[in-house]
Amino acid sequence: MSNVLHIPSYLSAEHLGPWETFLVQIDRVEPHLAAELRPLVPILTRPMRALIVNVPIRLDNGEMAHFEGYRVQHNLSRGPGKGGIRFHPRVTLSEVMALSAWMTVKNAVVNVPFGGAKGGVRVDPKGLSPAELERLTRRYTSEIHILLGQDKDIPAPDINTNEQVMAWVMDTYSMNEGRTAMGVVTGKPVSLGGSLGRRGATGRGVFVSTAEAARRLGLEIAGARVAIQGFGNVGDAAARCFADAGARVVALQDDSGSIANPGGFDVRAVKAWRLEHGMLAGAPGAESISADDFWATDADILVAAALENQITAANARQIRARLITEGANGPTTPEADLILQDRGITVIPDVLANSGGVTVSYFEWVQDISAFFWSEEEINARLERIMREAFSAVWEAARQKGISLRTAAFVLGCERVLTAHKLRGLYP
């Protein structure tokens, strides 16, 4: 790693975790940045603020439990912080820092006026009752209240958080402020100031960016074979878009296992089965396969829509897809990235591919602030236009500079962020 990169004392230098992935990405991008912006790169290698909180709650059995929570604001040079809240038993400060930094880059790539932020609580929400989950959400929101606000920092859903959790965040913030503050969080229920089209927006954006890449690679979406890891909010919405466009979803993997069907699944039927039975195995038309077989699926397109660090040096050589779309944040390790590049596999990076979610979150925020709501057709059309423009800009930059789509997206995003710093100057 180059010496501009700084490892903070509050992370373990030996086990840097996802933050290291981000630092390596910045290291790879730096030589391609405009010369006058390069001296500002160290700003990106430190989060602006990181808040660590204890979240104590009363369990249903009367006992007290404590959970560690975080909210990190990586960079606010282009606008208020924006980024989801993740509930996961293994979430770490390093992970939330990396996710907040990717939000900075992502918001700049699609050119929405937000900085990068992210939050998380180390909890397995499946082990909590709905009432416990509500108390956890409300206490966590109160603990990070000092950072929140529609013009300060605006959370959204992420892994294991949903519209109901966002409604509790909105209500808790509003109660503490003594007014209804809809614009403080996005991904809310539509009846509470949420936006039409938000639920499926990330998956739709994954589909739009994949279709843009496929067209340029001469790959027909109709009839293409698609393997999808992660069948939650992002993976499910993407699967539906692919199926509706005539592609065949031939393999699926989630935390319950992996299934395949070379003829293509009825993805809605598989989702209904998953919801009813809590696992993919046994779904209509499904043959259970091993995780290794999932990665080696004979597919044209692979969508990684689960967690980070899923495509690693261990499985990157098995992948047979020509095109990989990162619906998840950070699913590809830097080593795997180089292997995929060597093998000529095109990777649409997370900061571009999954930016549909934050784009419609931006629309939700604008609608809340203006108290004027748009139709779903209008939202989907605007989303598709923004995604196509961002894709085109990244593709062109990659072609002109002879760099990967990831590096090109980072160049575009980082240059916008660093230009904002340069124009604003250093305070005081």
The order of strands in the sheet holding 81-88 is 49-58, 64-75, 115-122, 81-88, 153-157
**Shortest Cβ 93–ligand NAD spacing (Å):** 16
Q: Give the integer Cα–Cα distance in Å for 309 and 25.
A: 14
Pairing of strands 81-88, 153-157: parallel
Q: Which is nearer to ligand NAD, 77 or 332 (CB)?
A: 332
Q: Which is nearer to ligand NAD, 364 or 368 (CB)?
A: 364
Q: Which is nearer to ligand NAD, 30 or 236 (CB)?
A: 236
Which two three-digit tokens encode residue 195?
Answer: 């936006």
Does residue 119 contact residue 86 with C-beta atoms inside 8 Å?
Answer: yes
**Shortest Cβ 95–ligand NAD spacing (Å):** 10
Q: Which is nearer to ligand NAD, 107 or 261 (CB)?
A: 107
Closest chain position to ligand NAD (CB): 232
What residues make contact with ligand NAD under the rule CB under 6 A?
157-160, 202, 229-235, 253-255, 305-307, 327-329, 354, 357
**Shortest Cβ 317–ligand NAD spacing (Å):** 19
For residue 181, the one-letter residue type is A
Residue 118 annotated in active site: yes
Q: Which is nearer to ligand NAD, 291 or 369 (CB)?
A: 291
Instruction: Please report the sign of the dihedral spanned by the C-alpha atoms of residue 312, residue 313, residue 319, residue 322.
Output: positive
Q: Which residues pair with 316 in a beta bridge?
A: none
Out of 118, 152, 271, 422, the active site residue is 118
Q: Is 15 exposed, middle or buried (0-12, 13-18, 19+ CB in 10 A)?
A: exposed
Which of left, alpha, beta for 309 (phi over 0: left; psi -120 to 50: alpha)? left
Pairing of strands 64-75, 49-58: antiparallel
Does residue 332 contact residue 308 with C-beta atoms inside 8 Å?
Answer: no
Does residue 93 contact residue 120 with C-beta atoms inside 8 Å?
Answer: no
75 Cα distance to chain centroid? 17
Q: Give the integer Cα–Cα distance in Å for 28 and 26.
A: 5
Q: What's the count of helices (H) and strands (E) in the chain, helices before strands?
A: 13, 12
**Shortest Cβ 408–ligand NAD spacing (Å):** 19
**Shortest Cβ 312–ligand NAD spacing (Å):** 12
Q: Which is nearer to ligand NAD, 203 or 418 (CB)?
A: 203
**Shortest Cβ 67–ligand NAD spacing (Å):** 18
Q: Which residues are catalytic?
A: 118
